[in-house]
Homo-oligomer: A and B are copies of this chain.
Amino acid sequence: MQFSLAFIAEIESAIQNHQFELIQNKISQINDADIAKLLSNLSLNEQLTLIEYLPNAAYIFEFLSIEQQLQIAEHLNTPLLVKILSEMHSDDRTDLFKQLNYKLQQQVSQYLSPEIQQDILQLAKYPEESAGAIMSSDYVALPPNLNMVEAIEQIRTQAKERETLYLIYVIDQDKKLLGVVSLRQIILAEPQQKIVEIMSRDLIVGYSDEDQESIAEKLSYYDFIALPIVDENNQLLGIVTYDDAMDIAKEEATEDFLKSSAMSSGHVSIKSAPILYLYQKRVFWLVILVFGSLLSGFGIAHFEDIISANIVLVFFLPLLVGSGGNAGSQSATLMVRALAIGDVELKDWLYLIGRESLVGLCLGGTMALAVSVLGYFRGDAMVALVLAISMMGIVLLGCLIGMSLPFILNRLKLDPASASAPLVTSICDATGVIVYLCIASLLL
Residues of A within 8 A of B (CB): 1, 29-31, 33-34, 152, 155-156, 159, 165-166, 183-184, 187-188, 200-202, 204, 219-223, 225, 242-243, 245-247, 249-250, 253-254, 256-258, 260-263, 268-271, 275-276, 278-279, 282-283, 285-287, 289-290, 292-294, 296-298, 300-301, 304, 307-308, 311, 314-319, 321-323, 326-327, 329-330, 332-338, 341, 343-344, 348, 351-352, 355-356, 358-359, 362-363, 366-367, 370-371, 374, 395, 421-422, 425-426, 429, 433
Contacts and interface: CB of A to CB of B under 8 A. Distances in A.
B322 A293 contact: yes
Given A30-B202, A275-B355, A300-B315, 6 more contacts: A242-B242, A258-B334, A260-B333, A270-B344, A276-B362, A279-B363
Contacts of A29: 200-202
Nearest to A201: B29
A248 to B, nearest CB: 10
A359 B202 contact: no
A286 B367 contact: yes
State the main secondary structure of chain A at its contact with B. Answer: helix
Contacts of A286: 323, 326-327, 330, 363, 366-367, 395
B184 A159 contact: yes
Q: In the A-B complex, list the 10 residue pairs whose CB atoms are closest, starting with the nearest.
A: A261-B333, A296-B318, A223-B243, A293-B319, A253-B253, A293-B322, A220-B246, A29-B202, A297-B315, A279-B362
A125 B151 CA distance: 44
Nearest to A204: B31
A204 B337 contact: no
Contact of A429 (B268, B314, B322): B322
Contacts of A298: 315
A159 B185 CA distance: 10
A294 B375 CA distance: 11
Given A29-B202, A188-B159, A279-B359, A341 B290 contact: no
A249 B217 CA distance: 13
A334 B260 CA distance: 11
Contacts of A335: 270
Contacts of A257: 256-257, 260, 333, 336-337
Max count, chain B CB within 10 A of own CB: residue among A166, A261, A296, A344: A261
20 contacts: A165-B184, A165-B187, A220-B246, A242-B243, A242-B246, A261-B330, A262-B330, A269-B338, A269-B343, A271-B344, A282-B327, A286-B323, A286-B363, A290-B323, A293-B322, A296-B319, A297-B317, A308-B311, A317-B317, A329-B422
